[in-house]
Structure 1
């Protein structure tokens, strides 16, 4: 399976999250702040910052809400899911 298909599959699974980098790009593409995302999920802004930095992972109930939000954003902003080309 190619990498783009894996990224799409990861966004479709109920509690699977895309990479921290993609999470941030989706939020930024939607024009949302970390505080707005945190408020929608019911957590502190620092939790979203840690999730986007890859420092922490959300607990199951928060992960489901966060994954749902990210899937919806990916539908609206599909280019944010695409990985930037690597520089060699």
Structure 2
């Protein structure tokens, strides 16, 4: 299954003494999820502290588990929408 995932982060909520280490760990985790094929595509939203991406998982539970691997997960606001194929998708 593919999911459209929107992730927002308010850095002010992240403990100041842990920010640098958590941000570095977050980058590594995201790159690893991409290499594993979980994160298919990801974009930053211009002017916002938010990303949107296409994630791949077998189920809602697997997506939750993948998101749980992000070190900043306790401070992230996440919205996930399950996607289905569309007959007019040029990438079909």
TM-score, length-scaled by structure 1: 0.32
Higher RCO (CA-CA < 8 Å; seq separation 6+): 2
User: Between Structure 1 and Structure 2, which shows a larger proportion of helix residues?
Assistant: 1
User: Between Structure 1 and Structure 2, which shows a larger proportion of strand residues?
Assistant: 2
